Structure 1
Amino acid sequence: MTESDNALAVQTLRVERTLVIGLNRPDKRNAINAELTQGLDEALNLLDDDDDLWCGVLTGGPAVFCAGADLAEGPGEPTDRGGYAGLTSRERTKPLIAAVEGYALGGGFELVLSCDLVVASRTATFGFPEVKRGLLADFGGVFRAPRLLPPNVALEMLLTGESLDAERAERLGFVNRLVEPGLAFDIALGLAATICGNAPLAAREALTLARREIHGDEAAAWEASHAALARLLASNDVAEGVAAFFERREPRWTGR
């Protein structure tokens, strides 16, 4: 990444025709706040709009890809072009590869679900801990995970809050490349270079048609997800779940 970007929540770097997008809140485990949302939106707008860029790689830190939404600050408002975190409901035509080392949890996992290919280190772990806080995976996880993983596996993750390790994720077909620790970024960048060696217009047409087949029209799913979250946010259990998280104790659920 460039030195001038060191203070930013999201860093960018051009590597030939690939745009590297790096999450950069290591002290907060790359949790999604308003600054990170804005940075991701700007970086992805650049990828979308610059004709000299043909592919993107989204990466996090060596121990944590992204721990999800920042419970203290909130994730910021959805952006006009990208939705939550500037990515989750974005209409894209250029391939985006997730390079994952360590934890990708909650909104962090939903960032990965929003990408097209996944390169994961053997240290990578994917999960939806929202249910442990009285919440649900409202950045698209509740309806995308059952499409991209076996439905029973997705349901287990959503209902238990337990995580999925990279090796099992690769066996299930979710991870494209399973690599040794520390190599996720390099392998993802090589995969991007392979994609950029092909005709860009053909790749974009193929991606558009494939994404339409996989995801279809998600408008109704987003509406239902937001409505479910609104019901949960009105509950006592959400306040208890968040309080228990910050107080480092087990929550006392009431179902109200």
Structure 2
Amino acid sequence: MTYITTETHGHILTITLDRQESRNAFNRAMADEMEQIIDDYEADTELRCAIICAKGPTFSAGQDLKAALKGEFAATPKRGGFGIMSIPPEKPLIAAVDGQALAGGMELTLCCDIIVASEESIFGLAEAKRGLVAIGGGCFRLPHRIPHNIAMEMVITAEPKSAQDMQHFGYVNSVVKSDQVMGEAMRYAELIARNGPIAVKASKALAYRSATEQWTDEQAWKEQGPIVQPMMSSEDRIEGMKAFAEKRDPVWTGK
């Protein structure tokens, strides 16, 4: 079965979770689908940004626990949990959340760079309620994204937070009405897609690694060189400067 559908809008890929009968919980087949979609997204030079959204009232309830009881875990050898958690895409990824993002569902949003949520949405790491641990990145990624004491509260009480609270803590970028979530996510995606794709990819890598590896300034000056080198030697760099000088929109080739 196909549990995830995709659609392209110019340079933007929309990834839609569609396993509504199980609250968009992931089994192994769904994880395999996600990994292939992310691999294809990375390989397609025409695609510059992707949006993850979902059908139904639940963004994702995480791991399919019924499947897990049978020994079937939603992880792939290459990208790990849900086919994305260990190795998220190097290109930008936006979460468009309308409903519950719980347990692995919230950890899926931790793989994203920008998060848009409806006013009714909630986020939570519910694993401890089931005697489990958030091993999809929740316990070590969330403290880098919001204040440490709030992250600890979410991890050890397993109580969810509203979209408004998560925006206040800096986790959610925009909170909008339910029927505006995809429009707001697309607005961000279009802003990203208009930029030089090589520069965006390098910028994401530099920001991500400097934060997660906790570089000092001295380390950052040293480490950023190899990361930005593809941009420095690209045709797009010349095109960007020429377009500015000629007062026109740049035409990116990704080269």
Q: Partner letter of residue 11 of structure 2?
A: R
Q: Does 1:193 align with 2:190?
A: yes
Give the whole-Å Cα distance in 2 for the aligned partners of 1:81 and 1:182: 35
Which one of the candidate residues 204, 207, 211 is aligned to 1:207? 204
Per-residue deviation, 1:62 = 4.2
| CA RMSD of superposed structures (Å) | 1.4
What SS is found at the alignment partner of 2:151?
A: helix
Per-residue deviation, 1:213 = 1.6
Give the whole-Å Cα distance in 2 for the aligned partners of 1:203 and 1:44: 17
Instruction: State the match for 1:131 in structure 2.
Output: 128
Give the whole-Å Cα distance in 1 for the aligned partners of 2:60 and 2:135: 16
Measured against aligned partners, the alpha-carbon deviations of 1:43-64 in whole angstroms (never above 9, x if no partner) come to 1111111111111101112411
Instruction: Choose 78-87 or 7-16, whichever is displaced more.
Output: 78-87
Per-residue deviation, 1:205 = 0.7
Q: Does 1:13 align with 2:7?
A: yes
Give the whole-Å Cα distance in 2 for the aligned partners of 1:73 and 1:213: 37
Larger Rg: 2
CA contact (8 A) 1:62 1:182 kept: no
Q: Does 1:40 align with 2:34?
A: yes
Instruction: State the match for 1:26 in structure 2.
Output: 20
Q: Does 1:155 align with 2:159?
A: no
Give the whole-Å Cα distance in 1 for the aligned partners of 2:165 and 2:74: 34
CA contact (8 A) 1:57 1:99 kept: yes
Per-residue deviation, 1:215 = 2.1
Which one of the candidate residues 20, 36, 53 is aligned to 1:59? 53
Measured against aligned partners, the alpha-carbon deviations of 1:65-101 in whole angstroms (never above 9, x if no partner) come to 0011000013635324311111111153210000001
What SS is found at the alignment partner of 1:73?
A: helix
Please list every run of 5 or more consecutive structure 2 residues that lacks an aligned counterpart in the other structure.
215-255
Q: Partner letter of residue 27 of structure 1?
A: E
Instruction: State the match for 1:169 in structure 2.
Output: 166
Instruction: State the match for 1:235 in structure 2.
Output: none
Give the whole-Å Cα distance in 2 for the aligned partners of 1:136 and 1:127: 13
What SS is found at the alignment partner of 2:187?
A: helix
Percent sequence identity is 36
Normalised by the length of structure 1, the TM-score is 0.79
CA contact (8 A) 1:170 1:177 kept: yes
Instruction: State the match for 2:89 in structure 1.
Output: 92
Instruction: State the match for 1:179 in structure 2.
Output: 176
Q: Does 1:101 align with 2:95?
A: no
Give the whole-Å Cα distance in 1 for the aligned partners of 2:193 and 2:89: 16
Normalised by the length of structure 2, the TM-score is 0.80
Give the whole-Å Cα distance in 1 for the aligned partners of 2:78 and 2:13: 18
Per-residue deviation, 1:185 = 1.5
Per-residue deviation, 1:187 = 1.0
Q: What is the count of residue pairs matched by the alignment?
A: 211
Measured against aligned partners, the alpha-carbon deviations of 1:93-131 in whole angstroms (never above 9, x if no partner) come to 210000001100000000001111101111110001111
Please list every run of 5 or more consecutive structure 1 residues that lacks an aligned counterpart in the other structure.
1-6, 218-256
Instruction: State the match for 1:224 in structure 2.
Output: none
